[in-house]
Amino acid sequence: MGSALLVWRHWVAPWREVERLVSQIAQGENPDTFIVEGAVPARRIALALENVSKHQQELDHKISEGAFGIQTIFRAMQDGLLVVDADRRVTLVNETLRQLFGLREISLGANLLETIRDATLDQLIAETLRTGQARHGELVLPNPRDNSTRRLELSAVPMKNDRSEVNGAVVLFHDISQLKQLDQIRSDFVANVSHELRTPLSILHGYIETLRDSPKTSREELARILQIMERHSKRLALLVDDLLILAQLESANPNVQLGEVRVAELFGNVVRDWEKKFAEKGLKVTVELPEELPVVRGDETRLQEVLYNLLDNAVKYSAKHGEIRLQAKRRGGEVAFAVSDTGVGIGKDDLPRIFERFYRVDKARSRALGGTGLGLAIVKHIAQLHGGRVEAESEIGHGTTIRVMIPMDGSSERDAPVTES
């Protein structure tokens, strides 16, 4: 009986412990102890299993870290990522791709064309897999949020194995919608500037030729021609000045000098500067300011420019003996400047676009009144450089109100969400 117990303890029990350790390691578990009593070979194997287990844990940790790092990179990517195999079956996607195509889930291993129903994408990838060469293209997707479209730049790169055989492709989707929009804005801007400059230059050129070819022009006719030339030269000067102001506001260094601005003094100075123009049309001017209006931190010269541009429009589009109202009031952490008139008003279809450069509601009338089409665009940019924003209210036949909201905390142009227009 004693010898049987001894055999059990030294030979049978240790190997059963070894078997238990092997089973736990195989199942990915971490044994509490690797100590085995009994035969020396069993103890040695248990010690070796401990080393194997530690090495396995280190490998698992490294793999986990690598997988976590890859997933983190994929999630952080602003570009969409798609990986397919040689049969054009999806093997990897990131969250950005799902959002771009509005897909809740993409099953790995699914057919590409059945998952993302776009023939252009499928053809691009098929060409990449067939030729083994990188391919580039563009894709236009509908954006259901605002009924607009998104333009995506596609870059498909083949994947190859050790034998240089193509076994899949990696596709990147880069959203270039904003770049395309900016290109269009720049193109429109150049076209508009060219048009605005061409008209007065053509008129000046025509009258210069007239004077050169008709040296005996009467004094009355000469006076009339010179008056027209002077009017168009002033229009050119105003346009160039506004273009220079707009260029500076949109530059990397807009030179905004922030300081304390007392709104009552600002409004008072502006109204005094415009007294003569108000009187010419017999306009009634009302200034409405609360008694305790906080000091605004901003660039006084730029804010004065805002009011000048708003008043310029208000005076131009007001009938004789109309009314203009200047207001300033606190709105939470902002001070709202407002200029209202009782002029012709703006239609609801035109109202959202009045802050665009060169946009005119009535082009013929605007040019006749001497506007450059840049005043409200300048107002918007100055507001944004102060961290503020603009609003407009209007109704045909009942006048227009333009509001400029300026934060009281002195947010600079670095904090402002500047947008192109």
25-45: pLDDT as tens digits: 666 677 766 666 666 666 666
The mean pLDDT of 196-219, rounded to a whole number, is 85
Same domain as 277, residue 406: yes
Identify the pLDDT of residue 421.
42
The CATH number that applies at residue 290 is 3.30.565.10
pLDDT reading at 419 higher than 80: no
pLDDT at 350: 85
Q: Domain check: are 393 and 363 in the same one?
A: yes
Question: In this structure, are 356 and 292 located in the same domain?
Answer: yes
**Burial (CB count within 10 angstroms: exposed 0-12, middle 13-18, buried 19+), residue 327:** middle
Last residue of a domain, one of 155, 175, 195: 175
95-152 per-position pLDDT tens digit: 888 888 877 777 788 888 888 888 888 899 999 999 999 999 888 887 766 667 788 8
Res 249: pLDDT: 84
Contacts 24+ apart (CB under 8 A), 354-358: 354/392, 355/379, 355/380, 355/390, 355/392, 355/421, 356/421, 357/189, 357/192, 357/246, 357/421, 358/188, 358/189, 358/192, 358/193, 358/196
The confidence score (pLDDT) of residue 379 equals 93
Same structural domain for residues 379 and 401?
Answer: yes
The reply to whether 168 and 213 lie within a common domain is no
220 and 321 assigned to the same domain: no
Query: Tens digits of per-residue pLDDT, 222-249?
Result: 889 888 888 888 888 888 888 888 888 8
Q: Are residues 262 and 381 in the same domain?
A: yes
Do 185 and 106 have their domain in common? no
Name the pLDDT band for 403 (thresholds 50, 70, 90). Answer: very high
Quote the pLDDT of residue 70: 55
**pTM flag (> 0.85):** no
> Mean pLDDT of all residues in the chain?
80
Distance CA 338, CA 406 (A): 11
The owner of tokens 């990147």 is: 172
267 and 408 within one domain: yes
214 and 358 in a single domain? The answer is no
Residue 156 · residue 125 · CB < 8 Å: yes
Query: What per-residue confidence (pLDDT) applies to 45?
Result: 65
Last residue of a domain, one of 44, 74, 104: 74
Cα 236 from chain centroid (whole Å): 33
Return the pLDDT at 361: 67
Range with the lowest mean pLDDT among 113-117, 192-196, 370-374?
Answer: 370-374
**Which CATH number fits the domain that encloses residue 192?**
1.10.287.130
* CB 336 within 8 Å of CB 329: yes
CA–CA dist 406, 336 (Å, integer) = 6
Domain finish residue from 213, 234, 249: 249
* Residue 271 binned pLDDT confidence (cut-offs 50, 70, 90): very high
Range of the domain at 299: 255-421
pLDDT tens readout for residues 281-319: 999 999 999 888 888 889 999 999 999 999 998 998 888
Residue 212 has a pLDDT of: 86
pLDDT at residue number 6: 52
The Cα angle at residue 198 between residues 217 and 236, in degrees rounded to 5: 75
For the residues 359-373, what does the mean pLDDT come to? Answer: 59
Residue 174 has pLDDT above 70, yes or no: yes
**405 plus 328 within the same structural domain:** yes
* Token representation of residue 84: 């397919």
Report pLDDT for 415.
39
Cα–Cα distance list, 382 to 7, 130, 185, 282, 389 (Å): 94, 54, 19, 30, 9
Number of domains, the chain: 4
Q: Are residues 387 and 267 in the same domain?
A: yes
What CATH number is associated with residue 124? 3.30.450.20
